[in-house]
Structure 1
Amino acid sequence: MLTGKQKRYLRSKAHHLSPIFQVGKGGVNDNMIKQVNEALEARELMKVSILQNCDEDRESVADSLVKGTKAELVQIIGNIIIIYKESRENKQIVLP
C-alpha cells in the first residue's frame, strides 16, 4: 500500500509520461491485463487512457487493471489512470 507521500512522488514522476494503453469499447480483457503487466515490469509507472466509447466507468476499469496486474493505483484524473508496480528485474524508481 502506498502512502500519501509516495503517491505524490509518483504523480510528479508520471506527469510527463504519455498514456501507453487505451481502454475502448471492449473494456479490459485478459490479453490487455497481460500486456499491461509486461509493460509495468519494464517501466514500473505508466498511464492508461480510457476512450469515450468505453462501456465501463473509469473506477471499474482501474479496479480491474489493478486487481489483474496486482499493481497500485496512484491516481485517476479525468480519463487517465496512473498505476505503479515495483519491478522485479529492472527497478528504476526509488520511493521516498
Structure 2
Amino acid sequence: MLNSRQRAWLRARANQLESSFQIGKSDLTPSVIDDLSALLTTHELVKVHVLKSAETSAAQLAEAAAAAVGGDVVQVIGRRFVLYRFSEKLAKQQKNLQLPRI
C-alpha cells in the first residue's frame, strides 16, 4: 500500500513515461493480465492506455488490473492510468525504484 508521498513521487516519475500497454474492447482477459504482470516485473511502473473501444471506464479497469496483478493504482487521468508493483527481479539487480520513506 502506497502512502500519499510515495504516490506523488511515482506520479512525477510516470509523467515522463509513454504508454507502454493498451487495453481494448476485450477488457481484462487472462492473457492481458499475464502480459501486464510480465511488464510490471520488468519495469515496476507502467502507464496503460485504455482505447475508446473499451466498454469499461479507465478507473474501473485500473482497480481491476491492480487487484489482478497485485499492484497499486498510482493515478487515473482520462483514459490512462499508472500501475506500480515492486519487482524482486529488479531489486536483486539493484535497478528498482527507491520509494521515499515516511
Higher mean alpha-carbon deviation, 80-89 vs 51-60, is at: 51-60
Gaps of 5+ in 1: none
Measured in 2, the distance between the counterparts of 1:77 and 1:15 equals 11
Matched, 1:95 2:99: yes
SS in 2 for 1:90: helix
Matches for 1:78-93 after TM superposition, within 5 Å = 78-91=78-91, 92-93=96-97
SS in 2 for 1:89: helix
Deviation at 1:47, TM superposition (A): 0.3
Measured in 1, the distance between the counterparts of 2:7 and 2:42 equals 20
Matches for 1:21-40 after TM superposition, within 5 Å = 21-40=21-40
Matched, 1:73 2:73: yes
Match of 2:14 in 1: 14
Gaps of 5+ in 2: none
Structure 1 residue ranges, 4+ long, deviating more than 3 angstroms after superposition: none
Measured in 1, the distance between the counterparts of 2:28 and 2:88 equals 24
Query: What TM-score, normalized by structure 2, do the two folds share?
Result: 0.90
Deviation at 1:64, TM superposition (A): 1.4
Measured in 2, the distance between the counterparts of 1:14 and 1:69 equals 19
Percent of counterpart pairs with the same letter? Answer: 28
Higher mean alpha-carbon deviation, 33-42 vs 59-68, is at: 59-68
Match of 1:55 in 2: 55
Deviation at 1:59, TM superposition (A): 1.9
Measured in 1, the distance between the counterparts of 2:57 and 2:11 equals 22
Deviation at 1:21, TM superposition (A): 1.1
